[in-house]
Amino acid sequence: MSEYAEKTLFFVGGGAEALPGIEKARDLGLHVVVSDLNPDAPGMLAAHDQLVASTYDVATTLSVAKRYHREVRRIDGVMCLATDVPLTVAAVAAELGLPGIPVAVAARAMDKLAMKRQFAMDGVAIPWFSPADSARHLHELVAEQGLPLVLKPVDSRGGRGVQRLTPDVDLTAAYARALGHSPTSRVMVERYLPGPQISTESIILDGECHTPGFADRNYEFIDRYAPNFIENGGTMPSCLPGSTREAVLDLVRQAAASLGVTRGVVKGDLVVSAGKPYVIELAARLSGGWFCTHEIPLNVGVDLVLAVIRLSLGLPVTASSLQPRYERGVALRLLFPQPGRVIAIEGEQSARAMPGVAMVRVAVRPGDIVVQPTDSNASAGMVIAVAEERDEAARRAEAAIRTIRVRTEPV
């Protein structure tokens, strides 16, 4: 009998980016239950059973999970994918006695200020930071520290409300916007460090950090969409020198230990400034943006989603399964049409047929409204391309994304 037979895995969140993990769990023979506020979410439709609850509502998710566990089927594991809800996952795991990170660790991972304070206590390299208690306090901090700085909500996600503060930014308006994206009405500011930004994804096994995911983030639109941080994809493998990559990996290990994750997943956002890496944030969950589901397997052949499924069920995960099997070039590029009402989409099938294109996704359809991007959820589609070398993968992805034309008309 399969080690997955008769086991039930609970996914918190059923969005499109979670769907590959949900389908993988089903293919393994697991009984899959998914919770989401949207009963028609793709992951909900792919699940055996559905629980309607906001992924961010810990109390309601706990209530429906306990009822399901007691009255329908025993839940054997809980996880999330591409949804920043480690606290909800940890609370369910703790309540039902399932494997998972401690609730206090998950809470710290979702609170950027608490996370930075812990990192500072433990000597983890981070940019200067401070809470900003009011718009007036922000003005004072800017006068003391100078510009540029980064303003962000303490507990939002997906880049919502995050802004680069430069001399032409209205600080009072920027503060109000950041505050509006914080569920607990808290804002912080930190030093903006110029330099290449890095995405990492790691599995921690008994305190040992394994990092098969390592990508250069693409911020070519940082000035076009200022003051917002609009990422345009990423490229693998990294073009950083070997010694710098090792320094990044060491810092990820240190940050994961500081956060308190000894067995689980951490997704890192880092910057290398003046040759030294700094942690921007660390998330205690599998990444979104197709990074863990597509880019990492294409780049190095490591299945992080499978590893986290096994961890969530209390099944063994070997260090050897997290070691790269090969290294190929992989590039993801995002689609940003002109704002307006979508009237036509052209070139999608042509892009799919181009050499090395592994995935094409167009997220808008005629009649949809495209707005000026303000966060990382604003793209209208994406392309992933592969090649033996990273530069060729990037050329293929960029050629494919140019082939897709989303025509809009002013609203």
- What is the predicted pLDDT for the residue at 409? 97
- What is the predicted pLDDT for the residue at 15? 96
Q: Tell me the CA end-to-end span of the chain in Å, nearest whole number.
A: 58
Domains located in the chain, CATH noted: 8-98 (3.40.50.20), 128-191 (3.30.1490.20), 194-326 (3.30.470.20), 330-409 (3.30.470.20)
- What is the predicted pLDDT for the residue at 95? 98
| Side-chain half-sphere exposure of 361, counting CA atoms within 13 A | 15
Q: Long-range contact list for 176-180, CB < 8 A, 24+ apart?
A: 176/135, 178/151, 178/152, 178/153, 179/153
Structure tokens at 251: 């810092």
Tell me the C-alpha to C-alpha distance, in Å, between residue 305 and each of 151, 246, 296, 322, 368. 32, 24, 10, 11, 32
Q: Give the distance, in angstroms, between the CA of residue 86 and the centroid of all CA atoms in the same chain.
A: 12
Please state, in angstroms and rounded to a whole number, the distance separating the CA atoms of residues 101 and 94: 9
Buried b (16+ CB within 10 A) or exposed e, 352-362: eebebbbbbeb
- What is the predicted pLDDT for the residue at 225? 86
Q: What is the pTM of this model?
A: 0.96
Task: Please give the chain's pLDDT, 411 residues, in tens.
Answer: 689 999 999 999 999 999 999 999 999 999 999 999 999 999 999 999 999 999 999 999 999 999 999 999 999 999 999 999 999 999 999 999 999 999 999 999 999 999 999 999 999 999 999 999 999 999 999 999 999 999 999 998 878 999 999 999 999 999 999 999 999 999 999 999 999 999 999 999 988 999 999 999 998 888 888 899 889 999 999 999 999 999 999 999 999 999 999 999 999 999 999 999 999 999 999 999 999 999 999 999 999 999 999 999 999 999 999 999 999 999 999 999 999 999 999 999 999 999 999 999 999 999 999 998 887 677 999 999 999 999 999 999 999 999 999 999 999
- What is the predicted pLDDT for the residue at 1? 66
- What is the predicted pLDDT for the residue at 137? 98
Q: Quickly list H helices, 53-122.
A: 58-71, 86-96, 103-109, 112-121
Please state, in angstroms and rounded to a whole number, the distance separating the CA atoms of residues 30 and 32: 6
- What is the predicted pLDDT for the residue at 49? 98
- What is the predicted pLDDT for the residue at 377? 73
Please, are residues 376 and 393 in contact by the beta-carbon 8 Å criterion? Answer: no
Please, are residues 158 and 377 in contact by the beta-carbon 8 Å criterion? Answer: yes
